[in-house]
Amino acid sequence: MPRRKRNRRIQVPPVIKGMSVFGVRGRKSNEVILHLEEYEAIRLLDYQNLTQEEAAVFMDVSRPTLTRIYEEARNKVATAFVEGRDLIFRGGDIYFDKNWYKCNDCKASFSDYAEENIKCPVCQSDNLISLNDYYTSE
């Protein structure tokens, strides 16, 4: 029986839910799912230019595991680009190191250390969704 995957730490949720293709007529809506640990690997390695060793520490995984996650992520992104498919960020074996929220009124995303009376820091609304719950429930 294979070992159960350890959850990977995500520091910041994506600011968007995915990317959609435009300019292609009659395309199929066969989307590519990019798991959040794959998104995080691309964010840390390509956007923040960390080394694989540094990124592995941030994600709480071994360097070889990070390499596998990153290669799978690159493969999925290439598939979406070449085949003209939507790229959706969803799911995966992850946990957030903070509680993240999104305001349904002004669309601001923020983290909050205090669990009491959580309100949007931009518009003071309490019409919020938990991004932790959104991204970890498939």
> pLDDT per residue over 42-97, tens digit each?
999 999 999 999 999 999 999 999 999 999 999 999 999 998 899 999 888 888 88
For residues 12 and 57, membership in a common domain is answered with yes
What is the share, in percent, of the chain residues with pLDDT greater than 90? Answer: 40
> pLDDT per residue over 12-23, tens digit each?
888 888 888 887
For residues 105 and 93, membership in a common domain is answered with no
- Show the DSSP H helices in the chain as ranges: 36-42, 52-59, 63-83, 131-136
Residue 11, domain extent: 1-23+30-97
Q: What is the model's pTM?
A: 0.81
Alpha-carbon distance 103 to 105, whole Å?
A: 5
Q: How many CB atoms lie within 10 A of CB 30?
A: 10
CA 76, distance to chain mean position in Å, is 14
For residues 121 and 62, membership in a common domain is answered with no
User: Residue length, the chain?
Assistant: 138
